[in-house]
Amino acid sequence: MMETILAFLALLSIAIAGGFLFEGVERKLFARLQNRKGPPLLQPLYDALKLLLAKETVIPANASPLVFVLAPYISAAAAITAVLFIPLGGSAPLAFNGDLIVLLYTLALSTAALFLGASASGSPFAALGASREMTLYISLELSLALAVLAPAFAAGSFSLALISAQQFAPLPLAAVVFFVAVLAELGKKPFDISEAEQEIAEGLYAEYSGRLLGMFKIASALKHYIYACMFAVLFVPMPVEWPVATRIAAQLAAALLFVCAMALVRSVSARFRLHSASRFYLSVVAFLAFIQFVLVYLWR
């Protein structure tokens, strides 16, 4: 029991530090690609700490207080729970044969809490952001599910640890689909439609401040870590005979490259319109995911 608790605390510490560092690297590289200096690497962590410890929390008068206040904590708690299923170096505190499915539902809960909280804020900007987020999420969910199921089907298991241990052939189409879906999940260009600072003033987060906004920042940082490490686990085969420290370093390096690729795409992309993004996910991206799934089925 004590070993499990220590493993959880160690993994959570790595996830929080890694999440904020990944977000900082992505922002720094994005600025460099635009010929700007950019913020310090730890600026996302500084912002979250300032929100949690120093800034005032304001609850709008026309908000639904219970949902508005609980949503950030549910989102952060779901992200923390999801961290427990991510294997680092081959193992995870709550690993079992089916943890991939539970992980997807846990991440869905974190996202659902975000647009429920925005809807409860009483702000038209937040409500519009929540509507956009829900539409985009429904559009991409099929593609994301197929992209994740392809390596699971290739490995013959829904366990992330077993998928990571299998030396299956690369799945390029599924990897591309996963990457494109995660861009929308994390609100990155060209799919930052639900936040769209120039249009709806941060949309989902328009009425959040102080500790509540800080909890959303923690959830966002953890999801940067989760999705980047999921990519490394699902699509970057690593020999099981490698030492644990080497596998951890390789996994984090692959996750960092995933984050750098997001910054590159973000720097050269213009924001999609909502109906264009929805059509793109339901047609092109879903078709690529389906082709990859069929290829895996034929290979097996």
Q: Could you report the per-residue pLDDT of 132-144, keeping only the tens digit for each? A: 778 888 888 888 8
Model confidence pLDDT, tens digit, residues 45-100: 888 888 888 877 778 777 788 888 898 899 999 999 998 888 887 777 777 788 88
Q: pLDDT grade, residue 128 (50/70/90)?
A: confident
For the stretch 178-236, pLDDT in tens is 999 988 888 887 877 766 666 566 667 777 888 888 888 899 899 999 999 999 888 88
Calculate the alpha carbon distances from 210 to 102, 128, 169, 213, 262 in Å: 31, 22, 47, 6, 28
- Integer Cα distance of 90 and 11 in angstroms: 12
Within 8 A by CB and 6+ apart from 102, the residues are: 85
The stretch 139-155 carries a mean pLDDT of 86
Reported as a single tens digit per residue, the pLDDT across 251-291 is 889 999 999 998 888 888 777 777 787 888 888 888 888 88
pLDDT band for position 125 (cuts 50, 70, 90):
confident
